[in-house]
Chain A
Amino acid sequence: MTAFFQGLGLPFEGAWLLSTIIGILVIALPLMLAVAMIIYADRKIWAAMALRRGPNVVGPFGLLQSFADGLKVFLQETIVPSASNKALFLIAPIITFTVALMAWAVIPFGVGVLVSNINVGLLYILAISSLGVYGVVLAGWASNSKYPFYSAIRASAQMISYEVSIGFIIITVVLWAGSFNMSTIVESQKGYYGFINGNGFNPLLFPMAIMFLISSMAETARAPFDLTEAESELVAGYQTEYSSMAFALFWLGEYANVILMSGLNAILFWGGYLPPFDWAPLYMVPGIIWFLAKIAFFFFVFSWVKATVPRYRYDQLMRLGWKIFLPTSLFFVFLVSGFLMLTRYGGAQ
């Protein structure tokens, strides 16, 4: 796209700036629409599993429910508690929302369809997701209220714990692909056993795929790991004091993160924008459709788990992260690197 704007007579820098801004908008605006629709989908799936109807009043099949909610929230008054730290109280939801959008810069939607094709794409995602905790912690602290503070402490401990195992899981994929670049990782998954696309079909990486799915639920604080907003213990967690758009930003950020994590599951283990089978006619379908279908599938898994699995106890959550996932993923890092050393890199010398 930079070349296109250069063709219009702009200098390189101006063209680059313009094309990058357009790229960001092209991702961010549909993402907001997707978040609105996916909140609706989440409620519908959840309702169906509880034998309810779910949202069905606003618009056909209740399709406009999220937009009605958005409008309602937009018209509400923003209440800032007088005991709160005002600047940080207002910055916290902005951080959550911005960070949730930032990671999308390196997600490939198709062959070469991404804002920024950087060499350290996966590390960038790790770095950005490690920023996500600040929104929650600051919200909890700036509210100057005890339940949000408990929630903030829980959230930071939880996110740090699961980031460690996510880091090791990602390392196994990176070892297999031989690169941190997202596009290279996707392309490296082509043609397992000659006909199937996806690291998840590799017996060495399949356990990692399962662990990554569970860890990504913990990382986004979704049920069954939603201890940060456990309503029976903490009212609404770190969002307790928030109202109006500030609350909406938390919500949007949370769901954008869930979509991102579904996308990462698809990219790292199930072939990203590649079709599931390495068969020429399937490549006629544009990559973005495969990718969105995979995101939709993983989002369905997320909602399914939310609707059916009871919430973990906090000590069980920590035990799962540190005593089970961390050693297992570390073991698999050794296993995968040892296997690659023996096969791909020609044995120890």
Chain B
Amino acid sequence: MIHVLAFYLFAILVVSSGALTILSRNPVHSVLWLILAFFNAAGLMILLGAEFIAMLLVIVYVGAVAVLFLFVVMMLDIDFAELRAGFVSYLPFGLLIAAVLLAEIILGIGLWSVGPIELAQRAGPVNPELSNIQAIGGLLYTRYIFLFEAAGIVLLVAMIGAIVLTHRARGGVRGQNIAKQNRRRPQDATRNINQPVGQGVEL
């Protein structure tokens, strides 16, 4: 009973906040609706018993990715009239994407209604006694270790690429030498002088 109620609550919230992400005029509101959608999707995953994935969804998407989104969107100086002006020219392309997605959903539902997909080639049945984390770890670090490491290398290359592309050596910036700053003592920087009256200070 509570499960059903919770499912419908989360599902309705995901769908409606997803819709509002697209519909809201203000991009900051869009990002916030998107965050709400992520959050409720995490709730759905908990109902499925995938609590590890749910927590990762919140930590990675809500905690990091969406914060950066929000950051960028807040900094933008948005001209709403200009945004709406492009609507007609993008419409055919948007409709195309919508048609492709609709076709995929219909295909997916069609395949699902045919019957259970043959699961004999699955990597190995997961022991239901294990917790989520152990089950995922057990597969990820044994059977899929090479794929996992390949994904890691792709991310590393992407990270280095992003740094190389955005890093520029700027002249005229004085870097800080923290060790030098910490070594500095009052006697290096100040001195006590007994200045006679009427004479300038010699620097």
Contact = CB atoms under 8 A, between A and B. Distances in A.
Interface in A1-32: 13, 16-17
A134 B51 contact: no
Contacts of A127: 55, 58-59, 62-63
Given A120-B51, A120-B52, A127-B58, A160 B2 contact: no
Nearest to B42: A127
Q: Is the interface of B mostly helix, strand, loop or mixed?
A: helix
Q: Is the interface of A mostly helix, strand, loop or mixed?
A: helix
A110 to B, nearest CB: 23
Interface string B23-60: 00000100010010000000000000001100110110
Contact of B2 (A16, A124, A130, A316): A16
A319 B178 CA distance: 10
A163 B59 CA distance: 10
A118 B133 CA distance: 12
A77 interface: no
A156 B67 contact: yes
Contacts of A316: 178
B20 interface: no
A180 B58 CA distance: 16
A120 B178 CA distance: 40
Given A141-B74, A319-B178, A120 B67 contact: no
A17 to B, nearest CB: 7
A17 B2 contact: yes
A126 interface: yes
Interface string A104-138: 00000000000000111001101100110110011
A133 B62 CA distance: 10
A123 B55 contact: yes
Nearest to A17: B2
Interface string A165-177: 0000000000000
A113 B119 CA distance: 42
A119 B135 CA distance: 13
Contacts of B28: 85, 88, 141
B2 A13 contact: yes
A319 B74 CA distance: 25
B62 to A, nearest CB: 6
Interface in A43-96: 85, 88
A120 B55 contact: yes
Interface string B55-83: 11011001110010011001000000000
Contact of B63 (A85, A120, A163): A163
B131 to A, nearest CB: 5
A153 interface: yes
Contacts of B74: 137, 141, 149
B176 interface: yes
A127 B74 CA distance: 23
Contacts of B63: 126-127, 130-131, 133, 163
A154 to B, nearest CB: 12
Nearest to B53: A120
B132 A120 contact: yes
Contact of A133 (B1, B58, B59, B67): B67
Nearest to A87: B29
B67 A124 contact: no
B2 A315 contact: no
A119 B176 contact: no
Given A13-B1, A13-B2, A134-B35, A120 B133 contact: yes
Nearest to A320: B178
Interface string A266-292: 000000000000000000000000000
B160 to A, nearest CB: 16
A119 B134 CA distance: 11
Nearest to A126: B59
22 contacts: A13-B1, A88-B28, A118-B51, A119-B51, A119-B132, A120-B52, A120-B55, A120-B133, A123-B56, A124-B55, A131-B62, A134-B35, A134-B67, A137-B74, A138-B32, A141-B28, A153-B71, A156-B70, A160-B64, A180-B133, A316-B178, A319-B178
Per CB-CB distance, the 7 closest pairs between chain A and chain B, nearest first, are A130-B63, A127-B58, A123-B55, A119-B131, A127-B59, A13-B2, A120-B55
Given A180-B133, A316-B178, 5 more contacts: A126-B59, A130-B64, A137-B71, A153-B71, A160-B67
Interface of B: 1-2, 28, 32, 35, 51-52, 55-56, 58-59, 62-64, 67, 70-71, 74, 131-133, 176, 178
Interface of A: 13, 16-17, 85, 88, 118-120, 123-124, 126-127, 130-131, 133-134, 137-138, 141, 149, 153, 156, 160, 163, 180, 315-316, 319
